[in-house]
């Protein structure tokens, strides 16, 4: 969470490869001898007899781990430690907090402005936009702060606490103690600025590639050449394709089923990289994904497939991440940086949770219920079954009719944000205070939220708004992003110490955003009187988690494979990921759907634009479920405000403070099992 060297996810058109160059003279091999570490510790213990000896040793040892030959001799290291160790930790911590907010806050603001053209629909892109967007003001902070030894002073005085220690002790720490521990999480790697800038460039190109991966759906035809989608429908992969597929569960006719099958076939072509290059973001060429026939000007013709661009980007992202491994002694590979550092949950812990959830017997029973509801055999794409939502009784047209009228553009949505909070239970004054720090932009991509990093800045809500206005799907996304923005604002402005601002990891902000997203109908004034609403909400959330956990495992195992095969070519990676997706499918899904070897779990664009991020979503569903259980019978706005103010601590500590219990899959599995057993009992009766 606190590592400023994370690769920020951003976007690109071409797949021009970047050579990853490392300055081998700036290596992180052990330079300070153990004897010097021991001598330094002894002298500090003598100089500060009342200081905690364990913390002195840990601080000196960690500083030695980051010290390289260019920083000075071992004797100079010893002198530095003795001169810069401070007993007044509170004053030192406060000074770091004040200056870090200034630096990181303004850098975050600058970076956001540089990315504005590629994130926001504001005219045509020009080539220089790509260069500005890929430049990161953060890239050389590591070089500068290790070079002037500010990072060394930080490590010396605020040594790193392991995840186990943070989980075990976090509930007992005071605000100042927690801030000191959080400070010790900064500068966990010493990646050179040049590598960080190269990583930014690769990430920017990858995100731009994904954000411009649109399909004009009127050009998608069946084997008889028949069209099914509106002329102006342009869907981004995978988000737009998936949401359109889900929306057709409201259409029980053969047309709805055909549209779903066409989208599924199109997704498979994207995964296999068999899709015509001239279909991506190009209007006018027809394509049948079922038989892969391509038509130009009404005549069937040959085409050039996209080749393996998708997987070439993923390899470049992997190589740029791997180049930083040697500079990160606390988290020596990208997987550990994504899990142990960013999620503050280990890969093994997450994998164990996911596989336990995916193996639960109730999954088969839910699949049988879906089959009965659909009155047909399940298809692989029914992992996106959307029929448990109570809005399934409300037509998509009715929902969109209201949102299109209410939110004709991004500014109309921004103007109504305080009213939306009031509809969720916030008082007028509180709602207006929060929303003064949130602005709305029309996104080029599917949408995202960008939080501020200093109290004088604002958060940005980005959502795709067509010229016709915000349709229901767009509003649903906007509610999710708005949840992020409210969390970002409250956990920054209403947390006492800047070092405690934020939440444990991205999964938590996803869970908090889900809480807002699922209340979209309440905001729109559609009151659902379905007595099964609560039970259906449990099954809906459960099925969403069941789907995305498999996707996350594919992402996780893909990175394991790349580390085991670092010299792989794009085609080899494509084959590997497709096989991984099929393996995960066959192990956890095939028996439920009676379909083997589907690679559909590999379709998610997050794998490219947000590498190693997917695990945050299913964890978010687990968190959301426990939060919803906790919120039952309580004032939503008051309790959410309290929870947002908890600030940053380890996930288990945060969950305990928020709900009184640690994170677990068992309550969710039990609740879903109880619902299914109750439904089956009613059917039997």
pLDDT, tens only, 362-386: 999 999 999 999 999 999 999 999 9
How far apart are alpha carbons 316 and 681 in whole angstroms?
A: 53
180 and 246: one domain?
no
Q: Which of 243, 179, 256, 248 lies closest to 215, judged by CA?
A: 243
Q: What is the layout of strands, in order, in the sheet containing 286-288?
A: 286-288, 293-296, 299-301
Q: Is the pLDDT of residue 86 over 80?
A: yes
- Total domains in the chain come to 3
260 and 297: one domain?
yes
Residue 292 resides in a domain: yes
Residue 430 resides in a domain: no
Which residues, in sequence order, are CB contacts of 516 under 8 Å at separation 6+? Answer: 424, 479, 480, 482, 483, 486
Say which residue, 218 or 5, is predicted with more confidence: 218
Residue 490 resides in a domain: no
Do residues 238 and 214 lie in contact, with contact meaning Cβ atoms separated by under 8 Å?
Answer: no
160 and 221: one domain?
no
Q: Is the pLDDT of residue 16 over 50?
A: no
15 and 156: one domain?
yes
Q: Is the pLDDT of residue 343 over 70?
A: yes
How far apart are alpha carbons 645 and 639 in whole angstroms?
A: 10
Question: What is the average pLDDT across 442-462?
Answer: 91
Residue 232 resides in a domain: yes
Say which residue, 130 or 270, is predicted with more confidence: 270
Residue 50, domain extent = 10-19+26-185
In this predicted model, what pLDDT tens digit does every residue of 152-161 receive, in sequence order? 999 999 999 9
Give bridge partners of residue 300 from the DSSP assignment. 295
Q: What's the pLDDT score for residue 138?
A: 86
Confidence category of residue 395, pLDDT binned at 50, 70, 90: confident
Q: What's the pLDDT score for residue 7?
A: 29
Classify residue 145 by burial, with Cβ atoms within 10 Å: 0-12, 13-18, 19+: buried
CA distance readout (Å), 611 to 133, 206, 243, 272, 320? 18, 10, 21, 19, 12
48 and 181: one domain?
yes
Question: What is the average pLDDT across 82-89?
Answer: 96
Q: Which secondary-structure segment (H or E) carries 502?
A: none
Confidence category of residue 12, pLDDT binned at 50, 70, 90: very low
Percent of the chain with pLDDT over 70: 94
User: How high does pLDDT run on average in the chain?
Assistant: 91
Q: Is the pLDDT of residue 243 over 70?
A: yes
541 and 670: one domain?
yes
Residue 363 resides in a domain: yes
Q: What's the pLDDT score for residue 444?
A: 87
Q: What's the pLDDT score for residue 23?
A: 40
Give bridge partners of residue 236 from the DSSP assignment. 214
145 and 242: one domain?
no
565 and 657: one domain?
yes
Percent of the chain with pLDDT over 90: 81
Q: What's the pLDDT score for residue 5?
A: 36
Do residues 552 and 615 lie in contact, with contact meaning Cβ atoms separated by under 8 Å?
Answer: yes
Q: Which of 29, 9, 65 lies closest to 450, judged by CA?
A: 9
Residue 446 resides in a domain: no
Say which residue, 171 or 526, is predicted with more confidence: 171
15 and 163: one domain?
yes
38 and 176: one domain?
yes
Q: Is the pLDDT of residue 11 over 60?
A: no
Bridging pattern class, strands 459-463 and 447-450: antiparallel
Which residues, in sequence order, are CB contacts of 222 under 8 Å at separation 6+? Answer: 228, 258, 262, 288, 290
Which residues, in sequence order, are CB contacts of 684 under 8 Å at separation 6+? Answer: none
Q: Which of 71, 81, 91 lies closest to 40, judged by CA?
A: 81
Residue 122: DSSP 8-state? S
144 and 237: one domain?
no
Q: What's the pLDDT score for residue 393?
A: 62
How far apart are alpha carbons 620 and 516 in whole angstroms?
A: 13
In this predicted model, what pLDDT tens digit does every residue of 189-231 receive, in sequence order? 998 888 988 998 999 899 899 989 999 999 999 999 999 999 9
CA 667 centroid distance within chain:
24
Q: Is the pLDDT of residue 18 over 60?
A: no
Q: What's the pLDDT score for residue 390?
A: 66
Q: Could you say which of 169, 185, 201 is where a domain stops?
A: 185
Confidence category of residue 25, pLDDT binned at 50, 70, 90: very low
Q: Could you say which of 170, 185, 200 is where a domain stops?
A: 185
Confidence category of residue 445, pLDDT binned at 50, 70, 90: confident
Question: What is the average pLDDT across 463-491?
Answer: 93
In this predicted model, what pLDDT tens digit does every residue of 530-567 receive, in sequence order? 768 889 989 999 999 999 999 999 999 999 999 999 99
Residue 111 resides in a domain: yes
Q: In terms of pTM, does the model score above 0.75?
A: yes
Confidence category of residue 4, pLDDT binned at 50, 70, 90: very low
178 and 223: one domain?
no
Classify residue 545 by burial, with Cβ atoms within 10 Å: 0-12, 13-18, 19+: buried
Cβ atoms < 10 Å from Cβ of 594: 12
Residue 263 resides in a domain: yes
């Amino acid at each position: 969470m606190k590592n400023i060297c994370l690769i920020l996810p951003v976007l690109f058109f071409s797949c021009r490869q970047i050579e990853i160059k490392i300055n081998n003279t700036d290596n992180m091999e052990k330079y300070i001898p153990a004897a010097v570490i021991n001598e330094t510790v002894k002298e500090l213990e003598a100089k500060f007899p009342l200081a905690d000896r364990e913390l002195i040793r840990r601080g000196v040892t960690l500083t030695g781990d980051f010290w390289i030959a260019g920083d000075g001799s071992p004797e100079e290291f010893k002198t530095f430690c003795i001169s810069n160790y401070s007993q007044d930790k509170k004053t030192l911590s406060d000074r770091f907090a004040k200056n870090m907010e200034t630096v990181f806050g303004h850098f975050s603001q600058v970076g956001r402005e540089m990315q504005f053209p590629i994130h926001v629909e504001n005219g045509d892109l020009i080539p220089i936009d790509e260069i500005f967007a890929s430049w990161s003001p953060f890239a050389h902070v590591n070089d500068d702060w290790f070079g002037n030894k500010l990072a060394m002073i930080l490590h010396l005085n605020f040594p790193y606490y392991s995840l186990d220690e943070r989980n075990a002790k976090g509930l007992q720490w005071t605000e100042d103690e927690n801030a000191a521990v959080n400070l010790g999480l900064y500068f966990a790697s010493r990646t050179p600025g040049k590598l960080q800038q190269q990583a930014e460039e690769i990430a920017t190109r990858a995100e731009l590639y994904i954000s411009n991966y649109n399909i004009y759906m009127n050009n998608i035809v069946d084997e008889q050449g028949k069209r099914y989608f509106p002329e102006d429908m342009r869907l981004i992969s995978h988000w737009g394709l998936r949401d359109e597929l889900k929306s057709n569960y409201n259409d029980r006719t053969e047309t709805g089923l055909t549209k779903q099958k066409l989208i599924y076939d199109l997704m498979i072509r994207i995964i296999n990289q068999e899709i015509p290059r001239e279909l991506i973001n190009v209007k006018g060429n027809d394509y049948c994904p079922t038989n892969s026939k391509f038509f130009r000007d009404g005549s069937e013709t040959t085409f050039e497939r996209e080749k393996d661009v998708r997987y070439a980007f993923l390899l470049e992202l992997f190589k740029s991440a791997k180049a930083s491994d040697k500079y990160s002694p606390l988290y020596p590979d990208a997987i550990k940086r994504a899990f142990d550092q960013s999620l503050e949950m280990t890969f093994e812990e997450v994998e164990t949770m996911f596989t336990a959830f995916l193996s639960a017997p109730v999954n088969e029973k839910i699949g049988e219920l879906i089959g009965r509801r659909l009155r047909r055999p399940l298809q692989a794409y029914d992992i996106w079954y959307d029929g448990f939502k109570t809005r399934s009784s409300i037509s998509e047209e009715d929902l969109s009719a209201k949102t299109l009228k209410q939110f004709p553009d991004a500014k109309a949505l921004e103007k109504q944000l305080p009213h939306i909070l009031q509809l969720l239970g916030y008082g007028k004054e509180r709602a207006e205070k929060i929303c003064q720090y949130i602005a709305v932009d029309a996104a080029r991509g599917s949408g995202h939220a960008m939080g501020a990093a200093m109290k004088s800045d604002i958060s940005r809500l980005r959502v795709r708004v067509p010229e016709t206005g915000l349709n229901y799907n767009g509003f649903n996304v906007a509610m999710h992003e708005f949840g992020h923005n409210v969390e970002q604002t409250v956990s920054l402005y209403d947390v006492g110490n800047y070092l405690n601002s934020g939440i444990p990891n991205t999964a938590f902000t996803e869970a908090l955003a889900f809480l807002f997203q699922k209340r979209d109908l309440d905001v729109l004034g559609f009151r659902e009187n379905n007595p099964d609403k609560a039970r259906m909400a449990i099954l809906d959330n459960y099925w969403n988690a069941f789907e995305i956990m498999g996707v996350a495992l594919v992402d996780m195992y893909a990175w394991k494979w790349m580390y085991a095969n670092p010299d792989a070519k794009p085609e080899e990676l494509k084959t590997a990921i497709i096989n991984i997706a099929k393996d995960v499918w066959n192990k956890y899904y095939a028996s439920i759907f009676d379909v083997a070897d589907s690679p559909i779990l590999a379709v998610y664009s997050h794998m490219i634009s947000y590498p190693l991020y997917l695990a945050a979503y299913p964890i978010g569903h687990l968190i959301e479920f426990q939060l919803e259980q906790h919120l039952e019978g309580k004032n939503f706005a008051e309790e959410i405000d309290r929870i947002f103010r908890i600030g940053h601590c380890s996930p288990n500590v945060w969950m305990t403070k928020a709900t009184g219990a640690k994170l677990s899959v068992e309550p969710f599995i039990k609740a879903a099992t109880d619902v299914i057993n109750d439904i089956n009992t009613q059917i039997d009766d």
